[in-house]
Amino acid sequence: MSLPIITDPQFYLATVPAVLLLGISKSGFGAGFGSLAVPIMALAVTVPQAAAILMPVLLLMDLLGMAAFRKDFDLRLLRFLLPFGLLGTVIGALLFRLLDAHVVAGIVGAFTLLFLAQRLLFPPTAHSPAPPRWLGAVLTTTSGFTSFVAHAGGPPISAYVIPLRLSPVQFTATMAFFFFVINLSKWIPYAWLGLLDLRNMATSLVLLPIAPIGVWIGVRLARRIDPRLFYRLLYLGMFLTGVKLLWDALA
């Protein structure tokens, strides 16, 4: 008996680039481009189905990213971030059936563009203070929530972590470990919500071989790129994400 995978060519035309972007974001540019994966896939399937199909892919990418950056993460920062991120996933699980995913995506998109506007109009200096921890708690909880609903947790947490001015490798490593825990925490709620059906999981297995390619590209870039260019690419990724998410919500 063959597995009941999705066979629509349009689905793969949208999904293969989305998975590659997600892999690059997981290992090199975690703030921006990865959040485009679900909106791109939503051109062919619903947002909840796209989020479910990506679950095994995300797990593999997270494991590869942690292996590549296992010595570079900021443990103290992680200990602060993780409880609030997990709180956000709990809120996402409880509200999942009440909220339209496109509305949530639109909120994330608007917030992302406002953050970028603030950074451009009032650029930070070398002596700018780090964001307050209460803001970090709010943004990280928001990240856990939007990650649960649409795998779009990158922009909110990046709005807190980017001003901390970590090195590219340390930023990438900390995000890799953070999202591994967050994504792992989604499995039981996703199953409870009926999203992890056989067709979605079988389709995800077809996409798994693409995951290491994106991660490999991102790892090579993160270890070789100039920090200034790194953060410019982060901002570009966040801008594209914000525009796409807001457009989807308004359309």
Residue 137 has pLDDT above 70, yes or no: yes
- With bands split at pLDDT 50, 70 and 90, how would you rate the model's confidence at 122? low
Domain range annotation of the chain: 9-250
Q: What is the pTM of this model?
A: 0.78
- With bands split at pLDDT 50, 70 and 90, how would you rate the model's confidence at 86? very high
Burial class (CB in 10 A: 0-12, 13-18, 19+), 133: exposed
Spell out the residues 6+ positions from residue 192 whose beta carbon is closer than 8 angstroms to its own: 93
| Whole-angstrom distance, CA of residue 19 vs CA of residue 112 | 21
Residue 7 has pLDDT above 50, yes or no: yes
pLDDT value, residue 1? 46
| Contact criterion met (CB below 8 Å) for 30 and 157 | no
| 42 vs 212: which has the higher pLDDT | 212
pLDDT value, residue 6? 82
pLDDT value, residue 124? 63
| 248 vs 11: which has the higher pLDDT | 11
- Of 5-19, 115-129, 143-157, 207-221, which gets the smallest average pLDDT? 115-129
| 32 vs 203: which has the higher pLDDT | 203
| Contact criterion met (CB below 8 Å) for 109 and 243 | yes
pLDDT digits (tens, 9 = 90+) for 88-110: 999 999 988 787 767 777 777 77
| Whole-angstrom distance, CA of residue 237 vs CA of residue 240 | 5
